[in-house]
Chains A and B, each alone.
Chain A
């Protein structure tokens, strides 16, 4: 006790940190990652490894040599971006496309706005959409799942359930749950993604508001469409939310702290917006997958929502006695 430390209250801290939150999300993604490794084998390993390493490396290089400041790769946010980017890619995509995607995610979507905390759009989704527009063929030919596949670029491809749905083919709910379907490597198993959701809720990393409002809105909306035109919209609401990237987007991408609203009512508005936009975009024959666009559009509304949707103030509804 040579000297005492003087500081204002509070004198204790919860011990929570950015890296703990990032780690929790990465742990929550592990079941879905294992499913991806099982069904897409070697390809999934190569794509995810490339995405994570290049994201971390780009962040390090930019901070070290362009910004000439401290590097923050230890907080885990770049690794998480890499993992999420890989989850949004087909497992048979060439390495160079993954690297371009990582550069867009970290270089353009994240660091050019000032790094973690300042990016208006979800970096992994910006990269995904960039790649979808730049490499439409590579981004939309999904490999057929095959247990412990050793194929990478030579994997057999097939349309996803979403594309099939637009052609009137009913998906199989069990396969949607366990992940035995074509699709981006991280989005296939509904069960694994929900397991991670339960973990995030348990660890209080995210609240239920955003995922549940997105899923409920899109389920209700597609059910209304189904009632209105049963021939065109054959899919059940359950299958609908299990297909494509909706669960991955709703649980892991839309809940990104930086780009989603801060208050509970704001989160609900944001979630409903994403749900509605997703269904509207998915109806279009051009883009059977609409979650990425929907989330990015609502990311743009987040500052507006934060400005106008205030939390419930203490004592607000109580009238003062005269």
Chain B
């Protein structure tokens, strides 16, 4: 079975919420919709205090090319535009709306019928995707329309659909595939049209056999779509790893996937594209997983943006008593949260409760040079060396040892028998080296 060629780990999958039907979370009394995402410039608010908004109405306008529109996820009255602590741990601008009923824009098609026909041109599709404020829902939240517009001179050849969900615990993509398989397939054909490619590869890890079977059946009705089962291996959802696994091409160091003719979109993003193009529905809600070893009710929830995570968690049975750490996202790359009073954002794929015992890191011991970190690094780097160089501030050496290639997947720290904080030091070194490279480029130009 196919997988990426370098490194990788296989943590315990712990997909407790697998097979749980997507439940619609209750409407909150107030939402705080973030205008900023992890990547790109924050949107500019286009509503003011006191405005009455409907579900799906534009409230934040994209500010620059790498930025995305933001829409109201509820109907009601704009209470204020203020800063709000978000899941990344920063206070950033958000639009607060007091909920009143659930009135959607008339243009949105709320029926469940699947619309297969799409007669829009390439440009019209990309425009619709941009207007709908769609970003990568895998977590990086990179604006989807930017990926659909390759730079001049570059041509996409293959669309790769990331249906891997390699993070342990998370199941939102899996469940979405089971419930919205046909819609996702239509989404794929729309993306193929937008990119002007006639081949798409859907990569699904082999721990989702039901989804593989469903997609293989559906793929017969859609021209050019292949479904590939991939060996379960973390971090297969990393863009470069997935391209290697699915179509056997390796993106060179420092380059974007388009260098090898590939464009990757997450399966959740693909569904959002379907809804935007065929149903006129902008991105204002998404599926997230609430889970953990002692979670009373692990499940998948359809949540409106801006809903406080605490409200969703309450509906899922509350915070387990033995929780020592709460993670926004998966256990390998998610962020630990200071509080659950942060709003649901476009990139929020899950809330994970980690038990007391597992929350604490074990004491860091000396490096015994076992080389396990080198073995598991999916980018072929030497984490032990980069950590040593970071400790000693050897920035030039870190750069020549390709620290900028690090995808911060955490496989090294996960594996280290001495519990060394490899990724912490590497991340620090990477951000410093990144700063040095940027200032060097600025001086040149």
Contact = CB atoms under 8 A, between A and B. Distances in A.
B405 A313 contact: yes
Given A5-B359, A315-B250, A16 B382 contact: no
Contacts of B255: 315, 320
A321 B259 contact: yes
A10 B423 contact: yes
A321 B257 CA distance: 11
Given A4-B337, A18-B365, A310-B382, A321 B417 contact: no
A11 B419 contact: no
B366 interface: yes
Interface string B319-338: 10111111100011111111
A318 interface: yes
Interface stretch (A110-118, A165-173, A281-289): A110-118
Contacts of B419: 13, 17
A10 B410 contact: yes
Interface residues of A, number: 45
Given A9-B335, A12-B11, A13-B414, A311 B251 contact: no
Contact of B371 (A72, A257, A312): A257
Interface stretch (B67-75, B129-137, B342-350, B372-380): B372-380
Contacts of B326: 4
B368 A18 contact: yes
B231 interface: no
Contacts of A118: 366
Contacts of A116: 366, 368
B283 interface: no
B394 interface: no
B427 A8 contact: yes
A120 to B, nearest CB: 11
Interface residues of B, number: 74
Given A4-B326, A5-B325, A14 B319 contact: no
B401 to A, nearest CB: 8
Interface in A1-49: 1, 4-14, 16-18, 20-21
Nearest to A7: B336
A262 interface: yes
Interface in B406-434: 408, 410-411, 413-419, 423-424, 427
A178 interface: no
Contacts of A312: 6, 380
B252 interface: yes
A4 B331 contact: no
A316 interface: yes
B325 A11 contact: yes
Interface string A34-78: 000000000000000000000000000000000000001001000
A258 B368 contact: yes
Contacts of B427: 8
Contacts of A117: 366-369, 418
Contacts of A17: 362, 417-419
A10 B334 CA distance: 7
Chain A, interface SS category = loop
A17 B331 CA distance: 20
A310 B324 CA distance: 39
A316 B250 CA distance: 8
B218 interface: no
A314 interface: yes
B354 interface: yes
B410 A263 contact: no
Contacts of B411: 10
Contact of B240 (A5, A260, A315): A315
Contacts of B339: 4
B249 interface: yes
Given A21-B417, A257-B368, A311 B377 contact: yes
B360 interface: yes
Contacts of B358: 11-12
Contacts of B118: none
A68 to B, nearest CB: 17
B417 A314 contact: no
Interface in B78-108: none
Given A9-B332, A11-B325, A18-B417, A313 B11 contact: no
B380 A316 contact: yes
Nearest to B401: A310
B271 interface: no
A4 B325 CA distance: 5
B418 A7 contact: no
Contacts of A12: 11-12, 168, 331-332, 354, 358, 414
A5 B360 contact: yes
Given A1-B319, A311-B381, A314-B380, A8 B424 contact: yes
Given A12-B11, A12-B12, 14 more contacts: A1-B319, A1-B323, A4-B325, A4-B338, A10-B410, A13-B362, A13-B413, A72-B365, A310-B382, A312-B380, A314-B253, A314-B378, A315-B240, A315-B252
6 contacts: A1-B321, A8-B423, A12-B12, A13-B414, A20-B417, A257-B371
Interface of A: 1, 4-14, 16-18, 20-21, 72, 75, 115-118, 207, 257-264, 306, 310-321
